[in-house]
Chain A
Amino acid sequence: MFDAQSIQKDFPQLRRNIHGKRIVYLDSTATSLKPTAVIRKEDDYYKRYTANVFRGIYTTSEEATAEYERARALTAAFIHAGSPEEIVFTRNTSESINLVAYSLLTHDLSPGDHIVTTIMEHHSNFVPWQQLGAERNIAVDIWGITPQGTLNFADLEKLVTRKTKLLAVTAASNVLGTINPVSKIVRAVKQLNPKCFVLVDAAQAVPHMPVDVAEWGADFVAFSSHKMLGPTGIGVLWGTQDVLDTLHPFLFGGEMISEVHVDRTVFKSAPHKFEAGTPHIAGVIGFGAAVEYLSALGMQHVRDHEEKLVSYAMKQFDRMGGVTYLGPNDARIRGGVFALQVKGAHPHDIAQLLNEDNVFVRAGNHCAMPLHESLGVPSTARASFYVYTTEKDIDALIVSLQKVKNMFG
């Protein structure tokens, strides 16, 4: 049985008291807490088998290489990839997206090509396309949303043409909470233009719900370890073997080559040709433990838990009054993230007052300034949930929000 209260015991930081009070961590959308299993696994590499991967014919290097590649296999199985070779380790979601922007599009654009992204993207799935567009003089079109905060399907036909090179879309918004119907989007795009690449920013999806990349049918999927109980400094880019093979390397150096001569170099095959230099070995190994931890919980259980919390939170916000949130009010298409507004209170003041009760939320535009601008909202105070979040935590949020309301309302 999924029990968030007992899951909390696996997270040492939740045992910490500040000013004699427990922590209510409601910022997992920014980064998640880490369970003991992950911390131990990373620590173990440093204590017992520190060695570089791939090059050593001695015991500890072989152990490190095996653990590193095991993490790749675990990750592949976790998202139903065709093989471990489809998993490229990067630094984070942002780097995964930049890799595609540089490797694919810098080499492979014709005059008149254009790119489509959406208004609900995180800057990391927006700025790379905008900059590439400016640099290469190609148009970047923006897919808009409905008043409910869902992508406006009626517009897709007008946006995707024979000249659309790539469509970049998030699987779940880090502000609106909206869960986008990725399979449906990919099918519609490929029908309009079978050659159009689809890149999915899954930074808020892979940590929170079952993801099957085969079922999605996209060309690229990007996500971050640190948002799914793993260490910071590790990201994933998934691509089909075919597509990865045709892609140019993005960084050059050691580990990514099979032959170097004075006048030419032969690169390794994917994924290694994208992993130049010594990687963050401990991070990848720790990430493997995070994937195992989540697999043991079961991703459908994780999603069910969060959906219940979303319903509960919406009910509490409505009952309280004076507090509103962006995005849809249907728990079935919402992730556990609420960008809140309280009448008369600036988001900074909300976050600061909540901090006095050890209720940790984030204030600002959450790296989604185009979205905030399009909604005419300068900033919001965002509360987000994960596997260790309980209804009690949401109750604590409500009590603190009530104080904000009393002070500023």
Chain B
Amino acid sequence: MDLYREVILDHYKHPRNFGHLSGANVTSEEINVSCGDRIVIEIAVHGSGKTPRVIADIRFSGEGCAINQASASMLTEKVKGMDVGAVMKLTLDDVQSLLGTTLTPSRVKCAVLPLEAIQKAIVSLK
């Protein structure tokens, strides 16, 4: 098993897009009570009406395990500049390929929590 590859540990110890975003127009929070993981997502979405809505900038904060934090760090890098419709189509498979590993059932929820938070923020945009 090779869950804790260098790249995951690197994202955990030096998370990208970590912190707060002053120009955010949407935020969300997700909590995994049983393990005490918590993630806050802040997004600046540009475009409205007929122009495509894209993720101009994004930050995350909170605390969680290495899988959770690395997933948040990698996902925020990936979705920056993406169309929100495309972000809504991302799934666990995409998260697993970012992490470069498949997860056992008990770890899946750690990895998808950031994606759920991002999608929840987008849904609340309307």
Contact = CB atoms under 8 A, between A and B. Distances in A.
Contacts of A349: 4, 65-67
A364 B34 contact: yes
A348 B65 contact: yes
Interface string B1-43: 1011000010000000000000000000000011111000000
B110 interface: yes
Contacts, number: 39
B9 A363 contact: no
A365 B65 contact: no
A135 to B, nearest CB: 23
A321 to B, nearest CB: 20
Nearest to B36: A378
A353 B36 contact: no
Interface string B41-73: 000000000000000000000011111100000
Nearest to A367: B34
A17 B1 CA distance: 16
B107 interface: yes
Do most interface residues of chain A lie in helix, strand or loop, or is the interface mixed? helix
Interface string B97-112: 0000000000100100
Contact of A348 (B1, B9, B33, B110): B110
Contact of B35 (A347, A356, A407, A408): A347
Contact of A378 (B4, B9, B63, B66): B63
Given A346-B64, A346-B66, A348-B107, A363 B35 contact: yes
A381 to B, nearest CB: 11
A365 B64 CA distance: 14
Contact of B1 (A356, A378, A407, A408): A356
Contacts of B66: 346, 348-349, 408
A348 B3 CA distance: 12
Contact of A379 (B1, B3, B35): B35
Contacts of A407: 4, 9
Contacts of A365: 34, 36
A369 B35 CA distance: 10
A352 interface: yes
B65 A346 contact: yes
B69 to A, nearest CB: 8
Contacts of A347: 35, 65
Interface string A42-81: 0000000000000000000000000000000000000000
A379 B36 contact: yes
Nearest to A356: B1
A277 B119 CA distance: 48
A28 to B, nearest CB: 19
B107 A352 contact: yes
Contacts of B35: 347-348, 363-364, 378-379
**Which of B1, B4, B9, B63 has most chain A Cβ within 10 Å?**
B4
Contacts of B34: 364-365
Interface in A349-398: 349, 352-353, 356, 363-365, 369, 372, 378-379
A356 B2 CA distance: 9
A407 B6 CA distance: 10
Given A346-B64, A364-B34, 6 more contacts: A348-B35, A349-B66, A349-B67, A353-B4, A356-B1, A363-B35
Interface of B: 1, 3-4, 9, 33-37, 63-68, 107, 110
List 8 A-B pairs, minimum CB-CB distance, nearest first. Answer: A378-B36, A346-B65, A348-B65, A379-B36, A349-B66, A349-B65, A356-B1, A364-B34
